Amino acid sequence: MSATSNNISRVSNSLTTYATLSRLRQNSLRLFREQERLSSGQQLLSASDDPIAAEMIGRLTQSRAAQDQILSNLRHADGYLSASDSAVTDIGSILSDAARIASEQSSSLQSAEERASQAVVLDGLIDQLRNVGNRQFQGLYLFGGRRVDQAPLTSDLGRITYAGDAGSRETLVGSTLTQAYDVSAANVFGLQDSLNGGYVDFDVQLSTSSRVSELGGATGAGVRLGHIQVAQTGPALNFEVDFTGAETVGDLINRFNAAAANAGSTLTLGINPADGGSLQISPALASVQITEINNGTIASDLGIRKTATGVTLDGDTVNRRVSLTTNLSDLQPGGVTLPNGIVITNGSKSATVTFTGATTVQDVLNRLNTSGLGIRASIEPNGEGIVIENQVGGTPLIIGENGGTDADTLGIKTIDGSLSLTRVNDGRGIHPVTTGADVRITNANGVSFDVSFTGAKTIGDVITAINAASTLAGAGVTAQTSQGGAGLHLTGPAGAGQLSVQAQNLSPVAQELGIAKTGTATDLDGDNVTPFYQSGIFTALYRLRDGLLADSSSEITEAGSAINAIQKDVAGTAGEVGARSKSMRDRLAQTEDAVAATTILLSEIKDVDYTDAVTKFQQAQTALQASLLTTSRIQNLSLLDFLG
């Protein structure tokens, strides 16, 4: 009743009553609201009191909930990293003990008995390392990757074997930022520093069911879906093709062909039969030109951004990557068949793995991974080939043929022409003489030829050098990688004598390549000089242990060197874990600050300002009192009281 006094000229009793009641109601309501604010501690009693503030409260509450969650994630990650940090420190300490033993026992003055007793000590250290590797945090194995429910280090295969997962555990450390917070045993113990295999880059064939996401794209940037423009002459036509939403190569083809047919064109898109790995637009017309639309990239990604004049438009290869579902029939042009299987030897254990019935890459990987020999086969991260990890510490892994070429086909044969010679001779490489030949090879007919390996970098270079020299000498000797082993294999013509290899000019290369021997008339099997060892702590410790038991000073010295090198790696890992831990704690502190800031801001908007509320309450109370007072005075005044 606030806007009544300006436009009236007389006051009736009912108007007085109406106005009085209205003011009483307003003042009571105001007093009630202030009382509610004071008793609830809330600035707003309902969202409609101040929609903007209410919206801010809603958003800030959500932000704080998200920040709380990130805080929780960071605390979890920090705890995990702190436990890992402690474990890595312990590993460093154990390694120091091992390095001290190696240093003490490398002297030739140590007795075999002393070394044997230190081997027992070393067994204890290996056991301690295993215990550290199997340490848990909140019931989860620290170093098992995402396989948190089982100990990552086992000794099922006689030596320490890694059974954890190669992946990492991640958590959200920002609204959209995830970060790994675990340290896998593979990293800490150096279990997968090197991989075996990957010697074949598969030329995977396209199929209509191939996912577009499997394509590396003609430019290596994947395939980014969009629109293309097709311009043809003979007859002249233009049409657009929309590839957005396509899932498979078949979808790409269907969309192109539907758009072409719709435009009255005879052009069709298909898989190029010539190479199976690219697309082709046919038939040949006077000209066909493919261009991008709206700065798209799909024509380039599909390798068809070009012009064909009088010929079919043959695209560039779109680099389909290997995936678990890739059919073996698509793995290479003409398909891949694996009829014979392979032989895998890991230390003293050996098994033949066959691929009968396997139709996909995953089938092959499953057969390898269930061989029970402590290996893990996987697809290379770049999707080009297959690689093998040796998960058993200190045992030589050899993957060879089982009478066929399956290992070679898969690119996982332990010895391969592209293998670096640095892998040979227990990682020491070969050391050709600077002057003259390194070896002399004599066939069964007594024909000899000298070979120099100066400049050779790979096993393939060695084989090429031998074969070239043999050809030049007419010796008929052929070098190749061994079928079932991890060395070289020489064949020669039959004769009265034997095929043999001798070192020349005091060169150690024949020994280093494992071919300093005499074979049969036609064959010479070299030693396994390129077995695949897991690099890392356990291999070095087992080597030291074996050296101590064998009473071999040189082995102890080399193992000591390896341990010293690993100590540096572990120190680096410890530093990295520490840095990650610090980074996590820094982020934790920042997030705590952000939570505090959000909480303060929220409080400023949401919580009542008691000074303000009390003052307003007092004002409302005074207004109500004044209203009651004036009402009682006014209502008591009447002319009728004065009439006689």
Partner 1 sequence: MSLTSALGVGQSALAAYQAALQLVGQNISNSATPGYTRLTADLSSVPGATSRVGQLGNGVNITSIRRNANDALEARLRTALSDQQSAAAERNGLARVENVFDPLGDNNLGTLVSDFFKSWGELQNNPQNIATRGIVINNGRSIAERLQSVRGDLAGIRDELNSQITTATEQADEIATQIADLNIQITVAESGASGPASALRDQRNQLLSKLSESFGITTREQPSGAVNVYIGNEALVQFGESFGLQAVNELDASGRLVAVIRLKEGGGVVKPTTGQVEGLITARDSHIGGQQDRLDALAGALIYEVNKIHSSGKGLQGFTSLTGATAVLDPSLELSNADNGVDFVPKTGSFFIDVKDNASGTVTRHQINVDLDGIGSDTTLNSLIADINANVPGVTASVLADGRLKLTASSSTSYSFADDTSGALASLGINTFFTGTDSVDIAVNDVLVSSPTLLAAAKSDLPGDGSNATDLVGLQSRVVANLGGVSLSDYYTTSISDLAVRASSAQSALDSGGIIFDSLTAQRESISGVNLDEEAVALINFQRGFEGAARYMNVIDQMLQTLLSLVR
Residue 607 sits at the vertex; the CA angle it makes with 605 and 609, to the nearest 5 degrees, is 95
In a 10 Å sphere around its CB, with 0-12 CB exposed, 13-18 middle and 19+ buried, how is residue 496 labelled?
exposed
Nearest approach in angstroms of CB 339 to partner 1 is 21
Tokens encoding 321: 């990557």
Question: Does 179 sit near partner 1 (CB under 8 A)?
Answer: no
Number of alpha carbons in the 13 Å side-chain half-sphere of residue 292: 13
Q: Could you give the CA distance from residue 558 to residue 428 in angstroms, rounded to a whole number?
A: 10
Question: Does 39 sit near partner 1 (CB under 8 A)?
Answer: no
In a 10 Å sphere around its CB, with 0-12 CB exposed, 13-18 middle and 19+ buried, how is residue 113 labelled?
exposed
Question: Does 69 sit near partner 1 (CB under 8 A)?
Answer: yes
Tokens encoding 568: 């540096």
Stretch that binds partner 1, among 84-92, 361-369, 489-497, 591-599 (CB under 8 A): 361-369
Stretch that binds partner 1, among 164-172, 232-240, 594-602, 613-621 (CB under 8 A): 164-172
Helix (H, G, I), strand (E, B) or coil at 24: helix
In the beta sheet, which residues pair with residue 238? 231
Question: Does 636 sit near partner 1 (CB under 8 A)?
Answer: no
Subset of 123-162 contacting partner 1 (CB under 8 A): 138, 140, 144-149
The distance from CA 562 to its chain's CA centroid, rounded to whole angstroms, is: 27
Amino acid identity for residue 179 in this structure: Q
Q: Which is nearer to partner 1, 45 or 286 (CB)?
A: 45
Question: Does 635 sit near partner 1 (CB under 8 A)?
Answer: no
Q: Which is nearer to partner 1, 253 or 318 (CB)?
A: 253
Question: Does 378 sit near partner 1 (CB under 8 A)?
Answer: no
Stretch that binds partner 1, among 6-14, 385-393, 517-525, 594-602 (CB under 8 A): 6-14
Question: Does 379 sit near partner 1 (CB under 8 A)?
Answer: no
Question: Does 195 sit near partner 1 (CB under 8 A)?
Answer: no
User: Which member of 34, 85, 165, 555 binds partner 1 (CB under 8 A)?
Assistant: 165
Is residue 65 within 8 Å of residue 629, measured between CB atoms? no
User: Which member of 35, 289, 354, 369 binds partner 1 (CB under 8 A)?
Assistant: 369
Q: Which is nearer to partner 1, 67 or 539 (CB)?
A: 67
Question: Does 604 sit near partner 1 (CB under 8 A)?
Answer: no
User: Which member of 360, 502, 505, 564 binds partner 1 (CB under 8 A)?
Assistant: 360
Q: Which is nearer to partner 1, 80 or 533 (CB)?
A: 80
Subset of 226-285 contacting partner 1 (CB under 8 A): 245-248, 250-251, 254-255, 258
Question: Does 376 sit near partner 1 (CB under 8 A)?
Answer: no
Question: Does 29 sit near partner 1 (CB under 8 A)?
Answer: no
In a 10 Å sphere around its CB, with 0-12 CB exposed, 13-18 middle and 19+ buried, how is residue 87 labelled?
buried
Tokens encoding 45: 């009693």
Question: Does 221 sit near partner 1 (CB under 8 A)?
Answer: no
Describe the strand order of the beta sheet including 278-282 as a list of residue ranges.
268-271, 278-282, 313-317
Is residue 518 within 8 Å of residue 524, measured between CB atoms? yes
Subset of 337-356 contacting partner 1 (CB under 8 A): none
User: Which member of 24, 121, 172, 601 binds partner 1 (CB under 8 A)?
Assistant: 172
Nearest approach in angstroms of CB 555 to partner 1 is 38
Nearest approach in angstroms of CB 196 to partner 1 is 21
Contacts of 269 (CB under 8 A, 6+ apart): 252, 253, 256, 257, 260, 279, 280, 281
Nearest approach in angstroms of CB 56 to partner 1 is 9
- Nearest CA-CA partner of 311 in 255, 276, 267: 267
Nearest approach in angstroms of CB 70 to partner 1 is 8
Q: Could you give the CA distance from residue 329 to residue 360 in angstroms, rounded to a whole number?
A: 8
The DSSP bridge pattern shows strands 237-242 and 136-137 to be: unpaired
Q: Which is nearer to partner 1, 140 or 624 (CB)?
A: 140
In a 10 Å sphere around its CB, with 0-12 CB exposed, 13-18 middle and 19+ buried, how is residue 188 labelled?
buried
Residue 139 Ramachandran class (φ > 0 left, ψ -120 to 50 alpha, else beta)? left
Describe the strand order of the beta sheet including 375-379 as a list of residue ranges.
196-197, 386-390, 375-379
Helices (H) and strands (E) counted in the chain, each on its own, are 15, 25
User: Which member of 14, 356, 434, 636 binds partner 1 (CB under 8 A)?
Assistant: 14
Q: Could you give the CA distance from residue 89 to residue 94 in angstroms, rounded to a whole number?
A: 9
User: Which member of 30, 35, 68, 121 binds partner 1 (CB under 8 A)?
Assistant: 68
Nearest approach in angstroms of CB 570 to partner 1 is 24
Q: What is the DSSP letter of 360?
A: B
Q: Could you give the CA distance from residue 447 to residue 176 in angstroms, rounded to a whole number?
A: 71
Cis peptide before 283 (omega within 30 of 0): yes
Q: Could you give the CA distance from residue 145 to residue 576 in angstroms, rounded to a whole number?
A: 17
Nearest approach in angstroms of CB 282 to partner 1 is 19
User: Which member of 65, 116, 120, 236 binds partner 1 (CB under 8 A)?
Assistant: 65
Nearest approach in angstroms of CB 264 to partner 1 is 17
Question: Does 58 sit near partner 1 (CB under 8 A)?
Answer: yes
Question: Does 632 sit near partner 1 (CB under 8 A)?
Answer: no
Q: Which is nearer to partner 1, 279 or 421 (CB)?
A: 279
Question: Does 295 sit near partner 1 (CB under 8 A)?
Answer: no
Subset of 71-130 contacting partner 1 (CB under 8 A): 72-73, 76-77
Question: Does 472 sit near partner 1 (CB under 8 A)?
Answer: no
Stretch that binds partner 1, among 67-75, 190-198, 572-580, 585-593 (CB under 8 A): 67-75
Nearest approach in angstroms of CB 64 to partner 1 is 9
Question: Does 329 sit near partner 1 (CB under 8 A)?
Answer: no
Stretch that binds partner 1, among 38-46, 265-273, 285-293, 346-354 (CB under 8 A): 38-46
CA distances to 125, 159, 161, 533, 536 from 395, rounded to whole Å, are: 18, 8, 10, 6, 12
Question: Does 171 sit near partner 1 (CB under 8 A)?
Answer: yes
Q: Could you give the CA distance from residue 45 to residue 48 in angstroms, rounded to a whole number?
A: 8
Question: Does 175 sit near partner 1 (CB under 8 A)?
Answer: yes
